[in-house]
Every structure is written in C-alpha cells, then in structure tokens.
Amino acid sequence: MLEPATELITINNIGDYASIIGLFITLIGFGITIYNVKKSRSSSEQAKETVSKIQNDLRRIDTVTELTSAINLADEIKTLQRTNAWALVPEKYSKLRKHLIEIRESEKELEEKYQEFIQGAITQFSSSEKEIDVHLKNKTTPDSSKLNSLVSKHTDNLQSVLVSLKVEIGKNYEL
C-alpha cells in the first residue's frame, strides 16, 4: 500500500531534502536554546547582584541605626559631664567606643576619610575614659567644657559618616 509513496520519495530524493531541512531545524533549535540559556544566566546574575545590593543596604541600615545610637550616647555623655555625674561617665565612654569599633568592622568599604573619623573618635573616647578614671581616683574634677567640646567635635565627624551612609542606601538600583 505504501509502495507508490516510497517510490515517489526515492525518485525525487525527498529523504535527502528532509534530512537537510531537519538539520536546519535542529541548528535553529540549538540557537534558540543557547540564547535562552544565556538570557536566563544573565537574569540569574542580575538577580544575584540585586540580592547582594539588598544585603549591603540592609547592613547599612543596621549601621545607620548603630551610629544613631552612638551619637545619642555621645549626647548623653555631654549631659552627664555638664551635670558633673562623673561616676557614670567612664562606662558610657566604654560603651560608645565598643559601638564605634563594631560600626567600623561592619563597614569595611567605608571611605578612608570616614574610617579615620571613627578611629579618631575611638582614640579620643578611650583617652577621655582613662582621664576621668584618674580624676575619680584622685577625687578631682575633670574639665567638663573641654571634654564636652571634644565630644561635640567628634560627634560632628560621626554625623558626616552617618550622612554618607544614608546617601549610599538604595543608590545603585535600576528602575
């Protein structure tokens, strides 16, 4: 029953044409597959990049919160120094210093200038803590206006670190 059809295919070399067409279709299929794989790979790379940016921003938000607490603590120290509540101050300085060490460790990509601001504050607050301890031991009164002026200067520097961090949050997203 199929004999006439087979004869037609053989005489006209239809089998060869079909193979060539099949090959073309296969090549087109390959092309489409490679294109789709590339497309999905670049999508997954983009997704990874976005996730990494979100993670960086979440970390920055944490740092902003930490730094805001540190600045509030510095203001608290100024009030305690102004009211001569010296016995409470060394512990606050110590806490403030630890906050700043954590902040610097969590923000390793911070601009050098801002890292220097944080290091400067750590050094000063550590020295102020020791200075007050010596005064407490000797039962003498530290110079509150000098110490408050130093806290203010370093707080101003920390404020500029805070602003730079806030500016960076959500900066590199494509809409």
Residue 74 CA to residue 82 CA, distance in Å, equals 12
Stretch that binds another protein, among 6-14, 43-51, 147-155, 160-168 (CB under 8 A): 147-155
Closer by beta carbon to another protein, 53 or else 126: 126
Looking at residue 136, the DSSP 8-state letter turns out to be H
Q: Does 123 bind another protein (CB under 8 A)?
A: yes
**Cβ-based burial of 67 (10 A; exposed 0-12, middle 13-18, buried ≥19):** buried
Closer by beta carbon to another protein, 75 or else 111: 111
| Contacts of 3 by beta carbon, 8 Å cutoff, 6+ apart | none
Contact (CB, 8 A) for 69 and 50: no
Near another protein by CB under 8 A: residue from 83, 116, 141, 160: 116
Q: Does 81 bind another protein (CB under 8 A)?
A: no
Closer by beta carbon to another protein, 64 or else 110: 110
Kindly list the residues in this chain that would bind another protein in the complex (CB under 8 A).
97, 101, 104, 112, 115-117, 119-120, 122-128, 131, 143, 146-147, 150, 153
